Structures are given as structure tokens and as C-alpha cells.
Copies of this chain bind each other. A is one copy, B any other.
Amino acid sequence: MDDKDYRIRTDLALEARESFPDDDVEIKGVTLDEDFDEENNIRITTVVIKDEAGAKAMQKPMGTYITIEAPDMKDSSEDYNKPVSEHVEKVLKKLAGNLLGGEVLVVGLGNREVTPDALGPYVVDNLFVTRHLIREFGSEFKEKNKLGNVSAISPGVMAQTGMETLEIIKGIIKETDPKLIIVIDALASRSVRRLNTTIQLTDAGISPGSGVGNNRKALNEETLGVKVIAIGVPTVVDAGTIVADTLTKYMEENGFGEEDIFKFISEVNGTQVYNMFVTPKNIDELVKQISYTISEALNSCFSGSVFA
């Protein structure tokens, strides 16, 4: 851990990228592209971590990270779900391609009993699950009804199961042999502003519990042997991060040096804010809404009609 580490405590590649002081400087092994949907005020940013050097600099595994930022989602009506959902669908098709038409296992990570961590289970609740129907009625039935082949599970968190999510999902994959895994999880952002307005999709996998709990063994193509797309929404900020960021800003403005700042931040991280998270007071409505947006995108992706 070097002295820049305190800057990067986020599950969003976008924020990791932003943490570099000079925005314009190119980071080796990392590319950044932006797209903007003016009509709906939605920004799509693609960060690609191309090699080990980039992975080290960003402290994230190699892969493509696409972030959909929709700041109006927080206050908006149901109608706004539609354009956001369509962007999610588009990105998903870009990352997964034809695999969406085959056997897909959707995994809703997180603890249903802790509101900001319930995103994954809520998405799974609204999925149109079909694998058992196709097994019962055959592939003709699948084609006639333009169905995907979808199975899904919300395994719970390790404090509830006593098992690593990796163990559970690996076992299920062995028995059911899906060709694509889509993992949904609540993430930690560094910025209050991004909470519940941002959706990150990546083919780089995910570490269960990084949003609200401790890091667990990663779910990715390497550990699971199947392509993995992770969809994440920041619903919390780590309490230590919010304190550290506010302080850093203050100290920088008041002329403290980097060494002083780092020393202080280290102290803060040792205190009682450890294992605490920050979340908005109306998190119940926000999580319900955004999980609906994502499940609509998935249901639409899986409907066979989209695969020529």
C-alpha cells in the first residue's frame, strides 16, 4: 500500500480514474471514452483497463467498465426508467453479445434484509425466469415464445449462509452449466452524488460484499470458468471514505502537505467508523426504483425477439 492508496476507495472504475489528480494525463494501459445522451441527460463512460500496468494503477482487474450516469434518476418519475433501462440493455448487449440468447444464470448478491444491500435480490425478484419451462416444454416452446433461457438465485451473504458466494455459484454452475453469468450487486461509491444515479457494467467480474461488507473471493471468468458480466449500483459510501474525503479537501485548501494528510487519514481509518456505511434516508424508494430499471433491461435483453 503506497501513499496514494487512500485516494481510491471505490468500486467504480470511473472514480478510480478520476482520482488521478491530472485529468488529462494519460494513464498507461487505461483508455477512457465518453458519450452523452443530451435528451435524457445521461452520460456513458467507458474505461478500459488493458494491461497489468493499468490494473495496478487503477487497483482494479483488467477489463471493460461502462458507467451509465443518470443524475435525474434520483428525483424523477417512473417515465425516466425507460431511457435508463434502454441504455443498460444496449451496454449489456455490447458486453455479452449472443450469449444473452443462451443459458444465462443471474445472481443477485447482497443481503435482502439491509435496504441498500438488497439491490441484487430485488432485481432477481422481478426477473422472468424460464429455464425450467424450457426444460419442461422443449426448445420449440422457447422459440415460439421468443424466450431466453434464464435461471436466477439470490444466495444471501456469508453471514447468513456460512459459505463464500464463490463456493455456492461454482457449485450451481457445475450442475446447471450456464454459458453466461450476470451478477448484480450494490456497490460503494466514493461520492454521495453518484449514489443511486449510476450503473456500472463490466466484464471484469466482481468481489461480493465489496459494497457493504468485506471483500470476498471474486466472481469472474477465471474463478468461474464462464463469462461474467457484473452490474453494480453504488448505494452506499464507506463512512471512512466520506470522513477522509471531506477532511482531505479541507486540509488541502488549508495548505497541509500530502504527508500530513495521509497520516491523518490513516488515523481516521483506525477508528470506529470502520464497518459503517453512509446511505440516504429514502434509500428504500431509490433501491426499489433502480432495481426495477435493471430488471426491465434484463427481461428485455432475454426476450428472444432481439436475436435475429
**Contacting residues, chain B, for A171 (C-beta < 8 A):** 168, 170-176
Question: For the complex, is A280 an interface residue (Cβ under 8 Å from B)?
Answer: yes
Which of A113, A132, A163, A279 has the most chain B CB within a 10 Å cutoff? A163
Contact of B163 with A284 in the complex, beta carbons under 8 Å? no
Copies of this protein, total: 4
Range, interface on chain A: 35 or more
Selecting from A3-11, A23-31, A62-70, A268-276, the interface stretch reads: A268-276
Interface string of A181-204 (1 = CB under 8 A from B): 000000000001100000000000
A268 CB to nearest B CB, Å: 6
Contact of B162 with A151 in the complex, beta carbons under 8 Å? yes
**Contacting residues, chain B, for A264 (C-beta < 8 A):** 250
Contact of B153 with A284 in the complex, beta carbons under 8 Å? no
Contact of A153 with B159 in the complex, beta carbons under 8 Å? no
Between-chain CB contacts (< 8 Å), 9 pairs? A132-B158, A132-B159, A152-B160, A163-B176, A171-B171, A192-B273, A192-B276, A247-B247, A275-B282
